[in-house]
Amino acid sequence: MFRLSATVALLATALAVAVPAGSAAAAGPGSPPDVAVIGHRGSGNMAPENTLASVRLALKQGADYVENDIMRTKDGQLVVTHDLSLARTTNVEQVFPERTTYQVADYTLAEIKRLDAGSWFGSEYAGQRILTLREWVEAVGSSAGMLLEAKDPWAFPGIETDIDKELRSIPTFVQALRKGRVIMQAGDEAWLRSFHQLAPDVPVALLYYTRPTDEQLVAASTWLDAVNPALGNIDEAIVDRTHELGLKTYVWTVNFGGDMNRGIDWGVDGIITDYPGVLADVLRTR
Ligand code: G3P
Ligand code: CA
């Protein structure tokens, strides 16, 4: 897996230099475009997603922000993992062969901490653990911003209260928030509205899984800070409209240089990528 990922990264870099760079988003002659490099699940295709190794690699590769996915354990602890089931990214089936469910919500934090969250990706990552939200925040520290995502919040009733309470008890988070380096995103609009009511000082971004309509963008401008669509679902007109409405836009999940350059040319505010190092290179060489 690691070797394949490294090959894809090299290919992405090669494609990046092959695509002529435009200048639409450039801040001025010779200065790099002002586009945030956002490491998806850390450096999500170069190290086991959402682990300490992945966060550290993203920071080393020049991420301005690190993205994550937040869920809740059976005993109410917040952890950083993407799937409702632990089966894809851990050895839960080997550690708990007698259990009939592998859902995050059915395991305590102590049980989850017994799982290896790195070996599925590569033997060199054996022993990586699923991080608590607190550990993840400390790992990002003051080195980068935080793009936090409440993943499938419908499965964790009341998680907005838990997230708000936990984050505010972490001095590193409080500092990052004060410096404007925190965004909370979700694909569940009703959930995001609940979180926003609870924590109006935390910037919020809604994920879009289709091309946002103009009606949706106008509505978004009444309460959101950013709209976050898949790059493949939008075009330059959408980016222009978000900016006209005073919104920012962070697009996902962009892994090839040609696509990165397309988003940069359109003037997006940030690009969420599994290869933050490649995006940082693309931005440096424009
Ligand atoms: O940050 C956007 C992206 O993470 C949404 O998709 O499934 O990777 O959480 P997913
Ligand atoms: Ca995510």
Q: Distance (Å, rounded) from C-alpha 41 to C-alpha 29?
A: 33
Task: Give the chain's radius of gyration (CA, Å).
Answer: 19
* 83 exposure class (CB count in 10 Å sphere: 0-12, 13-18, 19+): middle
CATH architecture of 26-84+131-284: Alpha-Beta Barrel (3.20)
pLDDT at 178: 98
> Model-level pTM?
0.92
What average pLDDT does range 57-73 have in this prediction?
A: 98
Q: Distance (Å, rounded) from C-alpha 21 to C-alpha 269?
A: 17
Does any ligand 1 atom lie closer than 6 A to the CB of residue 152? Answer: no
What average pLDDT does range 268-281 have in this prediction?
A: 98
Judged by average pLDDT, the poorest of 21-30, 79-88, 215-224 is: 21-30
Q: Distance (Å, rounded) from C-alpha 55 to C-alpha 122?
A: 16
Q: Which residue has the higher pLDDT, 17 or 118?
A: 118
> Regarding beta strands 70-72 and 65-67, do their DSSP bridges make them parallel or antiparallel, or are they unpaired?
unpaired
Tens digit of pLDDT for each residue in 26-43? 455 556 679 999 999 999
Does any ligand 1 atom lie closer than 6 A to the CB of residue 272? Answer: yes
What average pLDDT does range 221-245 have in this prediction?
A: 98
Q: Distance (Å, rounded) from C-alpha 280 to C-alpha 64?
A: 9
Tens digit of pLDDT for each residue in 86-125? 999 999 999 999 999 999 999 999 999 999 999 999 999 9
32, 284 contact by CB (below 8 A)? yes
40 CA → ligand 1 middle, Å: 7
Q: Distance (Å, rounded) from C-alpha 116 to C-alpha 35?
A: 35
Atom from ligand 1 closest to the CA of residue 67: 1
pLDDT at 236: 98
pLDDT at 198: 98
Residue 280 pLDDT exceeds 50: yes
Please enumerate in sequence order all residues whose Cβ is within 8 A of that of 213, keeping only pairs 6 or more positions apart, or say none.
none
Among the listed residues 277, 272, 274, the one whose alpha carbon sits nearest the alpha carbon of residue 35: 272
Q: Which of 13, 33, 40, 241 is catalytic?
A: 40
35, 271 contact by CB (below 8 A)? yes
> What is the greatest pairwise CA distance in the chain?
63
pLDDT at 33: 73
- Edge-first strand order for the sheet with 70-72 is 70-72, 78-80, 131-132
Amino acid at 165: K
End-to-end CA distance of the chain: 30
Residue 223 pLDDT exceeds 60: yes
Q: Which residues surround ligand 2, an ion (CB under 5 A)?
A: 69, 149
What average pLDDT does range 123-139 have in this prediction?
A: 98
